[in-house]
Amino acid sequence: MTRSLLAISVLATVPSAVAPLPSRKAPEISRLEDGRTVERQLSRGDDHQYRLTLTSGDCLRIAVEQRGIDVAVQLRDPAGNVIADIDDEVRPRGEEHVDLVADVSGVFTIAIAASPVAMAIGGYAIRIDGRQQATADDRQLQNSRRFRTIAASREAAGRYEEARPLLEHALSLSERARGRQDADVAMVLFDLAENALETRDDARARTLIQRAIGIYEQSFGLDHPYTAMARARLAAIEQRAGNGPKSEALLQQSMAIIERELGTDHLWYVRCLTTQANLRIAAHDPEKAEALQLQIIAILERIQNTNTIQYAVALHNLGEAYLAKHDNQRAEDLLQRSLVVTEAIEGPDSYRVSTKLQNLALIARDEKDYPKALDYNTRALSIRERILGGEHADIAPLLNNLGVIYHVTGDDTRALPLFFRSLYFSVRSRSRLRQRWHKSMRNRVEEPQVAALHHDLEPERRTVYPVIFKRHWLIATIH
């Protein structure tokens, strides 16, 4: 799905070499039997497989005790197909509880590996806790996990729209099996909220994550990593909406719990740092944002998580920090690296690709390479319109930037309609305009063109969308 990329560090301030991942070892295959506990050491790259024979209709209950390392459990049917991937207990100590329902008779496999964030060597103990005839609820829960596993593979390839109905079906199955207030339901709600964030449906993400938080608090309490991480994702939603103080408050509480329970070398901690860096950018503090992004990159390289979207996001965000400091050379290098990683994982037409192209267009425009700027911006706009539609607020910055390119090259016939489309969509999205307008648009419009633009606007829009033009900056006022 991905290929090896960016084998060296981004900057000299980040460790200059990353030790290679241990190669995947040949699987160690054992039998798992009733009444017998198997205790093993586990490190990254190990592949422990346990075979057991089941009859159609059996439900096997398995417990995996984690002893200093977070393990991931994979269930496979007799044909070798993946039934589900399970990593519910994210802490290095605690138990994973797995139910395996046999839809057919045959030899099933339980595979144990270190989770992607596990760096230390640890141990585990696996045992069969019981057998029974599978109930309808058992089957529904396994099918829910099956759909979540397929959805995760779709999202890993950037196919979020395909993943969403799979997650919705998983939610329906979990609710029928466990009721609407079960922790398993909250986990699916969390996954759906993440999916909504990826597809820029922040309102839906907010509703889903708030419901997940309520269930987590009731099931696990306020100090559990799941509760903390859900609150951290709500902080990210608040940050996007421009609610900085609220986001900061949520994030501080969450980060303390995640650091205590999971440590700083964990992907959830990295995601918190990413939101924190975005808040610093919004607060016009590029120096602090840069320091946070360098910290993120160092962690991801240390845990060898570099062929991932999170690494691409870190490169992109550091590039934005340099862009804010007008260091175009370093910004362009980082954005191009981020683009390579993102396209390798998600393909050339994802939303994230459009953000890289958008910023590369700004750099090309600053360097007065207008043909390149036009190409980058046009490609970004095409991607975003396809994903979000032609009237979403997130296309407003691209319309505006495209208008600026036409304006500075003397083609105001094309520029002016683009400015007005940008303004119209931005003003409609009141909750986001104040935060994004000055950051994203960076355009200078000569007063004569502005006057002509205002004259050509329909009278009713002149009153609905008042515009102030001052010192060659286009500013929308919202009440």
Strands of 396-472, DSSP E: 467-470
Q: What is the pLDDT of residues 309-322, one digit of tens each?
A: 999 999 999 998 89
304-338 in b/e form (b: 16+ CB < 10 A) is bbbbbbbbbbbbbbbbbbbbbeebbebbbbbbebb
Q: Tell me if 86 is assigned to some domain.
A: yes
Q: How far are the Cα atoms of 32, 81, 166, 240 from residue 42, in angstroms, in the given order? A: 17, 24, 32, 40
Write out the two tokens for 159. Answer: 């196919």
Q: Is 401 within 8 Å of 418 (Cβ atoms)?
A: no
Write out the two tokens for 181. Answer: 């207030």
3-state secondary structure of 64: strand
| Tally of domains in the chain | 1
Q: Tell me if 100 is assigned to some domain.
A: yes
Q: Tell me if 96 is assigned to some domain.
A: yes
Q: Is 340 within 8 Å of 7 (Cβ atoms)?
A: no
Q: What is the pLDDT of residues 199-232, one digit of tens each?
A: 889 999 999 999 999 999 999 999 999 999 999 9
Range of the domain at 76: 28-134
Task: Identify which of 70, 45, 6 has the alpha carbon closest to the alpha carbon of residue 297.
Answer: 6
Task: Identify which of 383, 465, 382, 367 has the alpha carbon closest to the alpha carbon of residue 419.
Answer: 465
Q: Tell me if 81 is assigned to some domain.
A: yes
Task: Identify which of 11, 84, 36 has the alpha carbon closest to the alpha carbon of residue 314.
Answer: 11
Q: What is the pLDDT of residues 81-134, one digit of tens each?
A: 999 999 999 999 999 999 999 999 999 999 999 987 766 789 999 999 999 999
Q: Tell me if 314 is assigned to some domain.
A: no
Q: Tell me if 85 is assigned to some domain.
A: yes
3-state secondary structure of 389: coil
C-alpha 331/C-alpha 317 separation (Å) is 9
Give the pLDDT score at 124: 96
Q: Tell me if 302 is assigned to some domain.
A: no
CATH code assigned at 60: 2.60.120.380
Q: Is the pLDDT of residue 44 over 50?
A: yes
Q: Is 237 within 8 Å of 219 (Cβ atoms)?
A: no
Q: What is the pLDDT of residues 72-81, one digit of tens each?
A: 999 999 999 9
| DSSP per-residue string spanning 372-399 | HHHHHHHHHHHHHHHHH-TT-GGGHHHH
Q: What is the pLDDT of residues 431-472, one digit of tens each?
A: 444 444 344 444 434 333 444 444 444 443 333 333 333 323
Write out the two tokens for 184. Answer: 């398993």
